[in-house]
Amino acid sequence: MGLLPSILDPRSVIMLAGIMGLMMALVVFFMRRSYPRSIQGLGEWALAPLVAFVSTLLFAARGFLPDFVSVVVANFVLYQACILYYAGSQKFLQGRSDTRLWTLLNGVLALAMFWFSAIKPDFGVRLLLVTLAVSALFLVHALLYMRQPVLVFGQRLMTGLLLTQSFVAALRFVSALSGMAGSSLMDATWIQSLYISMYSLTVLLLSIAVILMATDRVHTEFEYLATHDPLTGALNRRAVLDACRTAVASGHRRVALLMVDLDYFKEVNDRFGHQMGDAVLREAVVRMQGAIGNAGLLGRYGGEEFIVLLPDADTAEAMAVAQRLKQAIDQPFAANSPMAAVGSIAVSIGVAAGDGGTRVDDVLAKADAALYRAKAMGRDQVMAAA
């Protein structure tokens, strides 16, 4: 039994946690430079263990530095590191962060630390306040992930770590209430050793979870870019044609295709510039996707031309979707819209359908021919394949 306290000497474990945090901060910092800027939160996640490292230096100096530094400042800095982890998660999951209330709580906590260290010294009360605040922050942080519809492995690891750390902090809070927490941070009690050791492990695993989440996000973005048009967000040509072939190969009884072309789109670019043209394309896609709903898939075939895949639809059903789509695109742009000067745009649509044994290329050729007939007959209309 005499060996255990020496192995789990609080001062040594605190320093070990700080060193591990410093190393993981450097890892996340350098990895951050290789990730796209669209992945937010990495800056806060890299800074958090670095700030925590500063706090461990201050905690480890307990008894050598004034209590204001090793108690008040140390706790303030450590809690701010926890807040930075939370801010990073907010940015990663939501694109923005707001930790003002937690920072305000940290300021109040610092005042309480000062009061119960310099004015009315009481380690037990300080421990109660800190562990309660830490447990609450980690629990709220975990709930942020638990509200996500899908959790990848890195997010599940992060959630488990946060819940575990919240539980251990709550356990330490209960031990303080029951008088089992000791009289000093450096007392090698079992609950003290458990709490500090768990913190050391959490610092390491949190950074690993961060790296896993960021890497998964990179893969997701690359997969998205490989299948979607970067301007409009619709499926790109290869992806929509692959979807058409998959629909036929999967045994759908019928497959219908719409070939959609924005009429006189070149004039929009010539009169208003390509930026306006890009805005019109994006708005057209939004309207088309709204009109199609869950009935099919929309892909950009090239330029201002699009394909709509309608699995298990016959010609009549496809014509109904085409008319709904045309009506949506025909609506004038709102007066307060940046595209108001364009007024409105028209669209020509070719419709074709085939049974399960029909080749996709044949249905596509028929829809394309119907589209050109619609254009030849004056544009701004829907035409079914002959």
Give the residue extent of every domain in the chain: 3-227, 237-384
Residue 124 has pLDDT above 80, yes or no: yes
Report pLDDT for 184. 57
Do 256 and 318 touch, CB atoms closer than 8 A?
yes
Q: What is the CATH number of domain 3-227?
A: 1.20.1070
The correct answer on CATH 3.30.70.270 for the domain covering 237-384 is yes
Report pLDDT for 149. 86
> What is the DSSP code (8-state) at residue 299?
E
Active-site residue flag, 304: yes
DSSP assignment of 116-185, as one string?
IIIIS--HHHHHHHHHHHHHHHHHHHHHHHHTSS---HHHHHHHHHHHHHHHHHHHHHHHHHTT-S-SST
Distance CA 347, CA 261 (A): 6
Report pLDDT for 6. 45
Higher pLDDT pick, 367 / 9: 367
Compute the average pLDDT of residues 103-124: 94
**Which tens digit of pLDDT belongs to each residue from 176-235?**
787 765 555 555 565 666 666 677 777 778 888 988 898 898 888 888 888 999 899 999
Distance CA 202, CA 164 (A): 9
Q: What percent of the chain has pLDDT over 90?
A: 50
**Which tens digit of pLDDT belongs to each residue from 221-250?**
888 888 999 899 999 999 998 988 888 777
* Active-site residue, selected from the candidate residues 221, 283, 304, 317: 304
pTM of the model: 0.71
Beta bridge partner(s), residue 310: 256
Identity of the residue numbered 13: V
Give me the chain's average pLDDT, please. 86
Strand, helix or coil for residue 334:
coil
Residue 288 has pLDDT above 90, yes or no: yes
Query: Using CA of residue 211, residue 216, residue 220, residue 226, what is the dihedral sign?
Result: positive
Same fold, 3-227 and 237-384: no
